[in-house]
Structure 1
Amino acid sequence: MKTAGTDWDSYYSAPYKTASFTRRYTASVLADLMRSHGGQHGKILEIGGANSCFIDGILKDVDPDRYDVIDNNRLGVELLRRRYPDDRRVAVRQEDVLASSNNEGVYDIVFSVGLIEHFDLQGTAQAIKAHFNYLRHGGTAIITFPTPTWLYRTIRNLSEITRNWIFHDERPIRLPEFQDAITGLGTIESARILWPQILTQYCVVTRKSSS
């Protein structure tokens, strides 16, 4: 039986309840990492960032010269375009990360939050590889994904029992799967579990090979 997909139109219209409690923490972690990995006055790409909840803080705290966003959800893309109609640093385009042939290897930082877990094993590996295709040599990929800690399993089980779970195609990922997917692409510089997110996520920082 095929797993039902996540209704992203509904999500972007009214984000999941836990998001408001955890996004400030995640945004702070991202900004700190970006400042220490060449994000200031650099080029940043957010993959899967339709109606991004991180762009405001990153533009303010990191101050990149360029901030691009790609996502395949039309509604989320349009909502973000409306928020930034005149900022010369921001460019938003509708694009499927698994189908994209635009391998623009110019970005200093490519990141995603809550993206790669919405594919099967092959799709996840392909989505991870896309981050490195967009990066310049020596650039940094920052990727977060849910991992099945006891806390994640508890909260998700409760959410499913009470019919509040909306991420029906979410597949929590263990670190070894990620490590296998980046073989030959880059080197992990840090990996930690973000426990305050409640639905616990790994945050992995990977440096793209320099040649």
Structure 2
Amino acid sequence: MERSRWLLPLLLMLCLGLGYTVLSMPEPVEGLPEMLVDNMEVAGVSNPVTAVLLNFRGYDTLLEMGVLLVALLGVWSLGGIPDYRESSPGLVLDIMSRQLVPVLILVAGYLLWVGADAPGGAFQAGSLLGAAGVLLLLCGWRIGNRCSGLPLRFLLILGLGMFVVAGTGLLLIGGEFLQYPSPVARELILMIEAAATLSIGATLAAMFLGSLPGGADK
């Protein structure tokens, strides 16, 4: 009852904030595609989508990682789901998981690697890792208590943390936040995307589980 009392005002404030943001948006800037093409040589990657998401507008992707983490915390704050009696996944699901999970992991690694030069990247790769995790959860697999505390939390914040560490490091050497020097831009982007892939996969699987893994809240 206490939660529902605050829910309506919070939703109203959110709607007002979103409405104000939409109404106050500036007019579209002309020439952005040409500007992107002209600056691709300093992007560190040859895929324009990756260049925008990880370099020219890295703030957006950083905030998206934050939104995913906040969404997971929101799911966990609801108190989890009722405990159901575990049952055998069945022969078909068991065989399918043994065949598909390795393939999903390999394809996720490929999408992560190729994202610098072709369609792909951290969110696509992370979604596949999340799908692999969901499949394992459907088969009854659960994280052990030893890995569900600090190791799981570290994995969940790894992507967002790598963004912050990279941006802070650039500030310390006299650069701009998330504006990568051209000679090391590709390596930094790959490092951030690798961390983001792991975090996205773990976050999506954890959201499907719907509650804190056993022992994580102790």
TM-score, normalisation: structure 1: 0.26
Q: Which of the pair is proportionally richer in helix? A: 2
- With a CA cutoff of 8 Å and minimum separation of 6, indicate the structure with the bigger relative contact order: 2
Q: Which of the pair is proportionally richer in strand? A: 1
Max Rg structure: 2
TM-score, normalisation: structure 2: 0.26
